[in-house]
Structure 1
């Protein structure tokens, strides 16, 4: 029987973001986002997602905000591996601009509906170029729950984590505009990889995953 691995997608996204990856002899289980509760913090939210993890000592792969959630889960249960793709491992990798916005609460001034809009800047930020990827991003943003998006952005820019799981592995793109590489180099750096390199550099990301999983 193949080994189960648990995947957490990016902010408000779902398993569509992983559809080009090859998990080889592993069976992917996609964690579904839950509606947030009033005044819920990220640790409590991560705890509620644990009901979807059915294996002891699991392998968890987190994309973008999903990686942040994966780290929060690793604080609460024993894990075999935590694999971050296009994500931040701790508070030092949250860009200064985001921390600046958090300090002055600038994120609260952004109309929620803007989170569903796509334009040249959004495509550049996520690193999508061809029409197929643009259409997928557009569909995912359209399906994203706005209240969840507002809550998640608040958690990202105010993330205070300084805990690093010992079994942490990182895959990051050299051309990630949303979460630029900084501080420590990742285990696997994907040349010219964007924030959504799971789409446009899927083969390289899959190869990195195979090395980590094996």
Structure 2
């Protein structure tokens, strides 16, 4: 939900075909709706008929943006294209509000966690530290609530869904009609970048 554009640092698309622009997360206004938040992102795009690519929560964002502007296509990675693809625990969180009890404030203390290794693997902590650009608790609480309460039933048109079969956040057994990356986890955009460099240009052309 808070990863910086650095997660795409190893993705190399042919420069004679594609020009890449990266959007940074913005802090939502108090009680801002997801619709209004996505509308602010749309204003950052100057080109006509862009291809929008989003990973995880970013996948939800670009789908909402595509409802507000004309796009060539939308690519979502390690994400969901319908609220029907939520795993059971997220559906439970939506009905009970349990997600509001998660200790999102710990993200603001990633340096401390990295120093003392409080029960989290060093590799994961270093990954969070290197790639999480937004460590604002209000943003994290807001984003978590928006993705849990997302209600899209029918996938949008011109959508390409790329998903790993080892994704623990959105397990593949709940995902329909996607391009499956063998061995891909929720952070495969980082760890499986070679697959994307080999296959993404063809999918976008």
Normalising by structure 1, we get a TM-score of 0.83
1:79 aligns with 2:71: yes
Are the counterparts in 2 of residues 94 and 156 from structure 1 also a CA contact under 8 Å? Answer: no
Are the counterparts in 2 of residues 171 and 208 from structure 1 also a CA contact under 8 Å? Answer: no
Q: Which runs of 5+ in 2 are unaligned?
A: none
Alignment RMSD:
2.2
Residues in 1 aligned to 2:14 and 2:204: alpha-carbon distance in whole angstroms = 10
Are the counterparts in 1 of residues 25 and 134 from structure 2 also a CA contact under 8 Å? Answer: no
Deviations 1:174-200 (CA, angstroms, capped at 9, x unpaired): 1000111224131x2110100000111
Q: Which residue of 1 aligns with 2:161?
A: 170
Are the counterparts in 1 of residues 4 and 134 from structure 2 also a CA contact under 8 Å? Answer: no
The alpha carbon displacement at 1:134 in A equals 5.0
Residues in 2 aligned to 1:134 and 1:201: alpha-carbon distance in whole angstroms = 19
The alpha-carbon distance between structure 1 residues 19 and 148, as it changes in their structure 2 partners (threshold 3 A), is same
User: Which runs of 4 or more aligned residues in structure 1 lie more than 4 Å from their structure 2 counterparts after TM superposition?
Assistant: 116-123
Q: Which residue of 1 aligns with 2:62?
A: 70
Residues in 2 aligned to 1:154 and 1:106: alpha-carbon distance in whole angstroms = 10
Structure with more of its chain in strand, by fraction: 1
Deviations 1:59-84 (CA, angstroms, capped at 9, x unpaired): 00001100000100011111101001
Q: Which residue of 2 aligns with 1:100?
A: 92
Normalising by structure 2, we get a TM-score of 0.87
Of 176, 183, 196, 2:187 maps to 196
Are the counterparts in 1 of residues 4 and 132 from structure 2 also a CA contact under 8 Å? Answer: no
